[in-house]
Amino acid sequence: MRDILSDTCVEFIKSRLHTETPFCLFVSFINPHDICYMAIRDFMETQQEKALIERAKVELETLDMAMKKPDGLSDDEFKAVHFG
C-alpha cells in the first residue's frame, strides 16, 4: 500500500502543475503509529506484546531503516542534527 502512495502523490502534483490554485500536500510514508512498535519491542513483557512484534516485521524493518544513522556520524552529531 505504501508504494502506491508515492505514485498517487505524483499524479496529484502533475494534475495541478498548470493551475494557479495553491495547494498543500502532506504525505506520511511511515504510519505515525508504527513508532509505537519500537517502544513495544524494546520493553515488551507480555506474550501479547511478543506476538504483536512478531506480526510487525515490515513495520519494524521500515522504522529501523528510517532511523539508521549515516556512516561516519557519531551519536551526538546525529542527535544534534535531527533532534535539536
Report the percentage of the chain scoring pLDDT > 90. Answer: 30
Q: Residue 43 belongs to what H/E stretch?
A: helix 35-43
Note whether residue 81 is domain-resident: no
Note whether residue 44 is domain-resident: yes
pLDDT of residue 74: 87
Note whether residue 80 is domain-resident: no
For residue 37, the number of C-alpha atoms closer than 13 Å in the C-beta half-sphere is: 19
Confidence band for 14, pLDDT divided at 50, 70 and 90? very high
pLDDT of residue 43: 93
For 77, left (φ over 0), alpha (ψ -120 to 50), or beta? alpha
> What does the alpha-carbon distance between residue 16 and residue 23 come to, in Å, rounded to a whole number?
8
Note whether residue 78 is domain-resident: no
Number of domains in the chain: 1
pLDDT of residue 84: 66
Note whether residue 32 is domain-resident: yes
pLDDT of residue 11: 92
> What does the alpha-carbon distance between residue 70 and residue 81 come to, in Å, rounded to a whole number?
12
Confidence band for 1, pLDDT divided at 50, 70 and 90? low
Residue with cell 546525529: 78
Q: What is the mean pLDDT of residues 30-53?
A: 87
Domain that holds residue 30: 2-68
